[in-house]
Amino acid sequence: MNPDDRVIRELLADVVEQSALNLLDPDRLQAIAEDLRVVERRRSYHAGLVTVCIVISALQRSTDTQGRLADARWNYEILGGGPTKESGFRKVARKIAPVLQLLLARRLNALVCNATTPELKGRLSAFRDVLVPDGCAFKLAKRLASSYAGTGNDSELKLHAVYSLRANGLVSIHATAGTVNDNDGFAPQWQPGALYIWDLGYNDYARAIDATAAGALILQRLKSNANPKVVASYGPTGHRRELRGENGKAICLDEACAMGLVHQQRVLDLDVELRTKEQSALMRVVCVPFGGEDRYYLTSLPRQEYSAYEVAELYRLRWEVELFFRGLKGAIRLDEVRRLENEDSLHTIVYGTLLAATLVRDITASLNQLEAGESEQDNASNEAFPPTTAQCEPQGRPEANQRATKAEKKDQSHQRSGTQTAAELLRRRLTDRARISSCARSSAHLSVR
């Protein structure tokens, strides 16, 4: 193997191992399960290792028709959990949904806290963050229709998520029945200076006004039946033309366009008034042709800084959350929930899949930092789950080598005595590999560069 390829392979392995250790410590997960009274102590199955296997099963491909639980059971036996029975393993797996849910909440909270850095770049640097809410429905077995009624199908699960460009991942997600529309599933706590981008399913004048009053910026597609009052039209040179009807009152958008009161140009830039029973606000509507049709956007982005074309271009950032949901359906196997007929199994698989998505995000972020030559690692996982692994000391320090030697002797003693648990065995294998080889890999990496 080429020396450069070997170094890269070892660096990638270290990133994957460390990310997995930070998020998935079997003994910590076991402790959480006991604290939540999900399982009792000294049972035949290690709940922490079962949790790990549920998450890992989302990242593997299998032709097994029984799906994720069968794969998780297979992982459990391979990782040293011992022989299992299908019914016994399934029973434990169904109990650990609260553990997965708590860990996911911690993980998302850590992402929110760490979303203050790094700052967005380019034109996006003007925003505190770019947040994209969206919903996605997944078909379920008909047996679950009483709890998860659907619209396009008898039974559906809908995930309501908020994607952050600054965090490069989700910062909020919750599940409902498929009949809950996107608008009802979005109840934000507005961040001043952040740009919120949402699609047609979130059209709500009251929400747009509330966001603007809170200091946030909004950008959304305007529904074809939306007809706000037009206050003024802007020409290509920025000339402002006030629009009023014959009686001096504001005129609606459809009427203004039909009567030719707006500037006669393909790209429109208008001031509109949004009004509810309690409040009103002055907003901006732009129309930009795309694919043979006129697309209207409602926004509070300032005209002096963002042209109509730039507004339409910013709206394309919504594609980030679409890519995330596409990954959930395919790469991380959430579409396989349609096989499940037990509600507890459904919850376990859904939360396990979402945790797997955060693990993929951590690995991707670390690899991006590695590629950019940055030494500072994303520590959001550490805040969700402080790692228990030993830190590698620089070579040449006797106290570090002495500690490593003692740790190895302790592990060997455990092996000889046969007292090591499956979770300890898993963690020891990963930790030893990271501890022993990371310094050597760093030295090799420097020499290659």
Final residue belonging to a domain, choices 296, 324, 352: 324
Which pLDDT does position 448 carry in this prediction? 34
In a domain, 333, yes or no: no
Which pLDDT does position 64 carry in this prediction? 53
Which pLDDT does position 334 carry in this prediction? 85
User: Is the same domain home to 92 and 137?
Assistant: no
Q: Which DSSP string do the residues of 57-93 spell out, in sequence order?
A: HTTS----TT-HHHHHHHHHHHTT-----HHHHHHHH
Which pLDDT does position 442 carry in this prediction? 42
Q: Cβ contacts of residue 278 below 8 Å, gap of 6+?
A: none
User: Is the same domain home to 319 and 347?
Assistant: no
In a domain, 359, yes or no: yes
Total tally of structural domains belonging to the chain: 2
User: Is the same domain home to 22 and 161?
Assistant: no
Q: Which region, left, alpha or beta, applies to residue 287 given φ > 0 means left and ψ of -120 to 50 means alpha?
A: beta
In a domain, 421, yes or no: yes
User: Is the same domain home to 175 and 319?
Assistant: yes
User: Is the same domain home to 256 and 310?
Assistant: yes
Q: Cβ contacts of residue 407 below 8 Å, gap of 6+?
A: 390, 435
Range of the domain at 375: 3-102+342-448
Taking alpha carbons only, the member of 185, 221, 189 closest to residue 314 is 221
Whole-structure pTM value: 0.77
CATH code (residue 264): 3.90.350.10
Q: Cβ contacts of residue 4 below 8 Å, gap of 6+?
A: 448
What distances in angstroms separate CA 85 from CA 43, 45, 206, one per listed residue?
14, 10, 54
User: Is the same domain home to 275 and 315?
Assistant: yes
User: Is the same domain home to 317 and 395?
Assistant: no
Q: Which residues of the chain have pLDDT under 50?
A: 374-427, 429-430, 433-449
In a domain, 232, yes or no: yes
Q: Describe the crossing of helices 47-57 and 86-95 by its angle, rounded to 10 degrees.
A: 90
How long a stretch of residues is the chain?
449
* Amino acid in position 318: R
In a domain, 121, yes or no: no
User: Is the same domain home to 171 and 93?
Assistant: no
User: Is the same domain home to 7 and 72?
Assistant: yes
User: Is the same domain home to 200 and 316?
Assistant: yes
Q: Describe the crossing of helices 26-35 and 422-448 by its angle, rounded to 10 degrees.
A: 140
User: Is the same domain home to 169 and 293?
Assistant: yes
